[in-house]
Structure 1
Amino acid sequence: MQLVVARIGRAHGIKGELTVEVRTDEPELRLGPGAVLATEPASVGPLTIETGRVHSGRLLLRFTGVADRTAAEALRGTLLIAEVDPEETPEDPEEFYDHQLIDLDVVTVDGTEVGRIAEISHLPYQDLLIVRRPDGSDVMIPFVSEVVPEIDLEEQRAVIDPPPGLLDETEAEVARGEGGAERGGA
């Protein structure tokens, strides 16, 4: 099974180092020296990590054969993909790999069917579950414990407790006091 672990950013300096946007909770395991990673587009790789270091809060990597800024800039935007054993799970029981979440049924705490997880979007501040509804539309669910209190891999479901308006615009209007109810008057 393949897992996107990073996206290559801009070149840093003149010796071929690159910034990377980390997309794994285990960068020390997936992005260490000697790691061989597939790429998207596939024509770029595979790439072997020669060195890695943190500079000003950013991970910088140097790849074997990428010796200067020009070669590094040519890699910008490339996704780095690690091969992962499908049976492998993160050490923290509250963490999940994307492949464990894709296709889970999504239900609310009261059992209402919402849809199925189609994709995970990794943003800088939080991840989003992209849930495909039965009608084919998508809804984005913040993947935080307040909104997604339970992931049950055995039952193949994610339980959500959505705030008003997350699933239904009408709910949001009522919660804001903008519902279409008329005011009674004398």
Structure 2
Amino acid sequence: MKYFAVGKIINTHGIQGEVKILAVTDFAMQRFQPNNTLYVKQNNQLQPLKIRTVRRFKQFYLLSFFEYADLTSVEKLKNCQLLVDEAQQTALSQGNFYYHQIIGLTVVDQQGKQIGKIKEILSPGANDVWVVERTNNKELLLPAIKQVIKKIDLDQQQVEVELMDGLDEE
């Protein structure tokens, strides 16, 4: 089974066993609900955690788990990723994709010439930026906008792009 990150435990909060979560999901309100199960990986072991309480705190979420009752017990979770399993992923509408579906795809131009592979996705602001790793050339940064990304084919494991003027400084 595959697991995907939905948050990172960045610190503890208070003495009641709450942890401060930085969400890395577009579905935080769905993921972080009482009685939902998340997973944390420690020492190469996956441990299920059942959410007891949830509340917002500035740009973070504060969660407590049934498995941990106090500050001392929850301390060991600091800096751990919170995960969901593949079956817990929400189905996306057509034309929307999870990052893990995009990372690793081959990028080709409109003539079918291979440009490279997507190695990561950055989220600097208005739109995502796909980092394309190329052989014998520096990385290419592609804005994930419809003027550049023409077709995503998960079956063929490739993305067709139109390199607008100024995008590639070869």
What is the rounded CA distance, in whole Å, between the counterparts of 2:146 and 2:69 in structure 1? 43
TM-score (norm 1): 0.69
CA distance in 2, matches of 1:78, 1:65: 15
For the 8 Å contact 1:89–1:97, the answer to whether it is kept is no
The 1:71/1:115 distance shift into structure 2, 3 A limit, reads same
Q: Equivalences for 1:31-180 in 2 at 5 Å?
A: 31-41=32-42, 42-43=44-45, 45-85=47-87, 90-109=91-110, 111-121=112-122, 123=123, 125=125, 127-135=128-136, 138-162=139-163, 166-168=167-169
Gaps of 5+ in 1: 171-186
CA-atom RMSD, angstroms? 3.2
Q: Is the 8 A contact 2:151 2:160 kept in 1?
A: yes
Residues 69 and 104 (structure 1), Cα distance of their counterparts in 2 relative to 1, 3 Å cut: same
CA displacement, residues 69-113 of structure 1 (integer Å, 9 cap, x when unaligned): 343343221011111149x66333242123322332112355442
The SS at the match of 1:130 is: strand
Percent identity, please: 31
Task: Give CA-to-partner distance per residue, 1:26-78, whole Å, 9 cap, x none.
Answer: 22333322232232334473322222122334222112232233433432210
Structure-2 change in CA distance of 1:154 and 1:89 (3 Å): farther
RCO greater where, 1 or 2, for CA within 8 Å and sep 6 or more? 2
- Output the amino acid matched with 2:48: P
Give the direction of change, closer, same or farther, for the CA distance of 1:43–1:85 in structure 2 (3 Å limit).
Answer: closer
With the length of structure 2 as denominator, give the TM-score of the two structures. Answer: 0.74
Larger radius of gyration: 1
Alpha-carbon contact 2:33-2:51 (below 8 Å) kept: yes
Which structure shows the higher strand fraction? 2
**Structure 1 residue aligned with 2:18:** 17
Q: Which runs of 5+ in 2 are unaligned?
A: none
Cα deviation for residue 124 of structure 1 reads 6.6
Distance 1:124 1:15 in 2: 35
